[in-house]
Structure 1
Amino acid sequence: MSTDRPIVLFDLFGVIARHQRPGAMDAMALLSGGAPADAFDAAYWACRLPYDAGQFSAAEYWTAVLHQLSLPAHPDTVEQLRLADIDSWSRVDERMVAYAQSLREVAEVALLSNIPADHADAFLAAQPWLHDLDHVAFSGKIHAAKPDPAAFRHCVIALKADPADFLFVDDREENVRAARALGMSGHVFTGHAELAAALDAWLPTR
């Protein structure tokens, strides 16, 4: 049962922040010691979930990636890759940042993002607006990554709310399905105008 508290729960990348910087994967492949770009891409994603979910440290993640590529995991290489990776995910959509902030006049606004802990620290330092939200949940910090129901339950508990109070916004349909399965409303993000229309329809029901 809803407590009539409207809470908009945003994904970060692909909604408020931009996806990975174009060309970043090729640049990191070169930093790795010359791995082919397609092999690097495959290893990068194959090892990613434990890193996102806080089960791997940055050093453990990059060591796993390099070992999968049969490359040595020198500490300097690991650190160069870590910093390049953080930079590749550092861009935000300023229009969406402003829109999310404006919603705090009519709703609580929170964030749930799949992001490693060290990336989260860098993002928090670079984006002070995050500190003004009602709650921020990073997968690497809460040890649960979407679409794991535990990630959504964390937000419900942290905000002392009911799932029915939430509208979850994400650009990945599987994550929206997981939120709906828990009892939240959900919106698959395709753009600002579509989201604004969905929120205009949802808010009067709270």
Structure 2
Amino acid sequence: MSTDRRIVLFDLFGVVARHQRPGALEQMATLCGAPVDAFTDAYWASRPPYDAAQQTAAAYWTTVLRKLSRPVATDTIEQLRLADIDSWSRVDDRVVAYVQSLRDRAEVALLSNIPSDHADAFLAAQPWLQHLDHVAFSGKIKAAKPDPAAFHHCVTALRAAPADFLFVDDREENVRAAQALGMNAHLFTALHPLTAAIDAWLPPRAA
């Protein structure tokens, strides 16, 4: 059941923010003296519990280093943690401007899979996020997409109905999960198709 509200719920990475900086995984592999391919496998395989706040940063990096049979040193963990945060720090200024411009036509919120310490750094670097109607980071809400709990969090926090939302994400599994919950959804590929989809979904502008 819809309450006739219009809430555009954005993913972060791959939509508003850019994907991981090219060369970042190679840099982190060098920091711990591991082959790039092995490091990449350990980095991603160990990620879901970290994203969903089931592991601290220290526990995540300890897991990665042990999978690689590398020494678990506090200094190395901190170097890796900071390099990792920096690698996910870029935004697409055009999309940021568009997101902000929507706020006179709709409620605007964000739902991102991002560890808690990354979220803190991102909020500090991007103060415009504090002006959105709601911001949900997986490391803070303890649920990561495509887990339905992540979407339920936004529905509950905004006191809305699933049909009130247009969810925007660049990953098909997340789009399908939102649709299964009853949300409208758009698979992001570029800014122009996104603006067209949102214009079609929102009520016409007042004359």
TM-score band (shorter)?
over 0.9
2:5 maps to 5
Q: 2-side partners of 1:70 and 1:36: how far apart?
A: 11
Alignment map for 1:1-206 (pairs within 5 Å): 1-32=1-32, 34-204=33-203
Q: 2-side partners of 1:158 and 1:138: how far apart?
A: 13
Quote how far apart the aligned CAs of 1:204 are.
Answer: 2.6
Quote how far apart the aligned CAs of 1:105 are.
Answer: 0.6
For 1:135, the aligned partner's letter is H
Structure 1 spans left out of the alignment, 5+ residues: none
Quote how far apart the aligned CAs of 1:72 are.
Answer: 1.1
Q: Deviations over 1:131-190 (max 9, x none)?
A: 000000000000000000000000000000000000000000100000000000000000
Quote how far apart the aligned CAs of 1:67 are.
Answer: 0.3
Q: 2-side partners of 1:73 and 1:12: how far apart?
A: 31
Aligned length: 204
* Percent identity of paired positions between Structure 1 and Structure 2: 76
For 2:24, the aligned partner's letter is A
Structure 2 spans left out of the alignment, 5+ residues: none
Q: 2-side partners of 1:142 and 1:180: how far apart?
A: 20
What is the root-mean-square deviation in Å for CA atoms of aligned residues? 0.7
Secondary structure, in 3 states, of the residue corresponding to 2:203? helix
Q: 2-side partners of 1:72 and 1:157: how far apart?
A: 43
Secondary structure, in 3 states, of the residue corresponding to 2:13? coil
Give the alignment's TM-score, normalised by structure 2.
0.98
Q: 1-side partners of 2:127 and 2:110: how far apart?
A: 14
For 1:98, the aligned partner's letter is A
Secondary structure, in 3 states, of the residue corresponding to 1:55? coil
Q: 2-side partners of 1:129 and 1:73: how far apart?
A: 37
For 1:64, the aligned partner's letter is T
Q: 2-side partners of 1:107 and 1:4: how far apart?
A: 11
Q: 2-side partners of 1:159 and 1:73: how far apart?
A: 42
Q: 1-side partners of 2:134 and 2:81: how far apart?
A: 26
